A = this chain, B = another copy of it.
Amino acid sequence: MKKKGSLLSFRPDIKVIDATIRDGGLVNDFRFTDEFVRQLYAANVQAGVDYMEFGYKASRDIFNESEFGSWKFCNEDDIRNIVGENDTDMKIAVMADVGRCDYRRDIIDRADSAIDLVRIATYINTIPAALRMVEYCHARGYETTINIMAISNAKESEVNEALSLIGQSPADGIYIVDSYGALYMEQIEELADKYLETAEANQKFVGIHAHNNQQLAFANTIAALTRGVSYLDSTVSGMGRGAGNCASEQLLGFLKNPKYDIIPILRFIEKQIVPLKETGVVWGYNIPYLLTGQTNQHPRSAIAATKEKRTDYLNFLLELNDRY
């Protein structure tokens, strides 16, 4: 495939999805103040963001509600408390994890819901379960995506089979998710071409959710969009698990569509992110995350090393390499 778009024009098919509360919630157990979420909602609307993801639809039977803030569960009332009737151009998204969501109980008809898009997060070996959730949500009127996580660990044959199954499903979109921040632009481009082939044959779109372990989240997002990927995830200041994500202020400052505006995001950072960081909430690139990214591993050991403020990077790498 060829490059799509140029650096001075814009592609109207591009959508920006703010995932600050959902991915950022993994850093602070979803304990955001209502004021934070309300201001983020207002900032995203003003910034021209297309979707705001509020959090997970996690099952209260699996997770203890007292251990998390509201956005782990995304009750309709909690979303309504922020968005009212959401009389804006921005749509509302939530994420539902395969195996962690009681969707038949917790996902109601879209007509009665504040939610527009349900993103189904799955590993490659649980695609059939993910497709059942897609069918359920689609039948209830939602837009849906399938987000195949940890794709850097999947074999080509698995990806091919997954795409073939998803192609026949009612999912509106398919997401490339580099959970480990392990992929380089060349690999993202190859995945993008492959996903787009299935997507375009089936009237679907492709999205990208990148992690910043190797400081490549923004670069990989650009690489994907130049191939034709159109749903671009970002979070304010990159807030997200471990090394975090592509930052909204990077992405909105890059995109040329005049509907996008970096200014409300900068104001939100001043008002809410700077104070949040001062309370000790920590995310973002460091050497342990670089090393889990380079070695294509889950960031959990780097999250622990960051918490312990470890600087014995060499020992840390030796531990990572001792995996067999």
Q: Spell out A's residues near B (CB within 8 Å).
A: 3, 7, 184-187, 212, 214-220, 222-223, 226, 237, 247, 249-250, 253-254, 262-263, 266-267, 269-270, 274, 285, 287, 290-291, 294, 311-314, 317
Contacts and interface: CB of A to CB of B under 8 A. Distances in A.
A218 B287 CA distance: 14
A311 B270 contact: yes
Contact of A222 (B185, B269, B313): B185
A311 B312 CA distance: 31
A216 B214 contact: no
A317 B262 CA distance: 10
B222 A290 contact: no
Contacts of A262: 317
Contact of A184 (B212, B247, B254): B254
Given A184-B254, A185-B185, A186-B7, A312 B270 contact: yes
Given A7-B186, A184-B7, A223-B185, A313 B266 contact: yes
A249 B290 contact: yes
Contact of A219 (B216, B291, B311): B216
The 8 A-B pairs at the shortest CB distance, nearest first, are namely: A219-B219, A266-B313, A253-B294, A266-B314, A274-B311, A215-B215, A267-B314, A215-B218
A268 to B, nearest CB: 10
Given A7-B184, A219-B185, A249-B287, A314 B270 contact: yes
A254 B184 CA distance: 9
Contacts of A186: 3, 7, 222, 226
For A250, A313, A317, which residue has the most chain B Cβ atoms within 10 angstroms? A313
11 contacts: A185-B185, A186-B226, A215-B219, A247-B290, A254-B294, A263-B314, A267-B313, A270-B313, A270-B314, A274-B311, A285-B285
A197 to B, nearest CB: 20
For A215, A254, A274, A312, which residue has the most chain B Cβ atoms within 10 angstroms? A215
Contacts of A215: 212, 215, 217-219, 250, 285
A9 to B, nearest CB: 13
Contacts of A291: 253
Given A274-B311, A291-B253, A7 B185 contact: no
Contacts of A3: 186
A312 B263 CA distance: 11
Contacts of A313: 266-267, 269-270
A214 B267 CA distance: 19
A222 B184 contact: yes
Given A219-B219, A267-B314, 7 more contacts: A3-B186, A215-B215, A247-B290, A249-B290, A253-B290, A266-B317, A274-B311
